Amino acid sequence: MIDGRYIICPLEIEARALLTLAGMDPARVIVSGPGVAVAQGVEVAHGAGATSVVLAGFGAGLAATPLAPPIGAVVDEEGCAFAPTIRVGGRAVRIVGVDRIVSTPAQKASLRARSGAELADTESHHFARACVERGLEFGVVRAVSDGPNDELPEEAANWIDAEGRTLAARVLLDLARRPALIPRLRALARASRHAAAGLRDGVEEAIR
């Protein structure tokens, strides 16, 4: 693992996937929590002596892409753009950071048309801005867990707490209330396992 390089994962499940990588230093993997909380994760890494930081986790696909494509630009909905200084090989795509979950095909298509981005998440814009403000080299690795034609259950937004932990009791309660969610949750679990493999491959390139 490159000296001074830290990994920030918004979700605990993402960090767990990466800790299986050979040579990964658990002390340099930070779980920030979702959304704007990632900026505090950057501050923690900076305070610990980081010289470069990689944001790693799952994202939404707005267009057809490889599982974990190189990300060459981070944009937000106000037109701000950031250029990652850590990139792996291959054709780079753009990711748009938004402050809400983009869960339906219609929402994804609209965001794609407005931003020109192929991927979306709720952290990359906050992450990139925090890194630039602190003079840190940065990169973003996102593995697609739901594609442009996939729809997330509306309940999914409440299945993660502010620290990035899965609320298992809440998931079970929602399944009991709406059994129709069970096959959708199984499909989401399969997609997440597939995305975790792509995430590991992308991060492995970014830390060597």
Distance, CA of 70 to CA of 146 (rounded, Å)? 17
Q: Could you give the CA distance from residue 168 to residue 185 in angstroms, rounded to a whole number?
A: 12
Average pLDDT (171-179) is 95
pTM of the model: 0.94
With contact defined as beta carbons under 8 Å apart, do 112 and 164 qualify? no
- Cα–Cα–Cα angle for 149, 151, 153, rounded to 5 degrees: 175
Tell me if the domain spanning 5-207 has CATH number 3.40.50.2300.
no
Spatial separation of the C-alpha atoms in residues 15 and 7, rounded to whole Å: 9
How many CA atoms within 13 Å lie on the side-chain side of 132? 13
Q: How far apart are CA 120 and CA 144, in angstroms?
A: 9
| pLDDT tens for each residue of 53-112 | 999 999 999 999 999 999 999 999 999 999 999 987 788 999 999 999 999 999 999 999
Domain boundaries, the chain: 5-207
Evaluate if residue 207 carries a pLDDT over 90: no
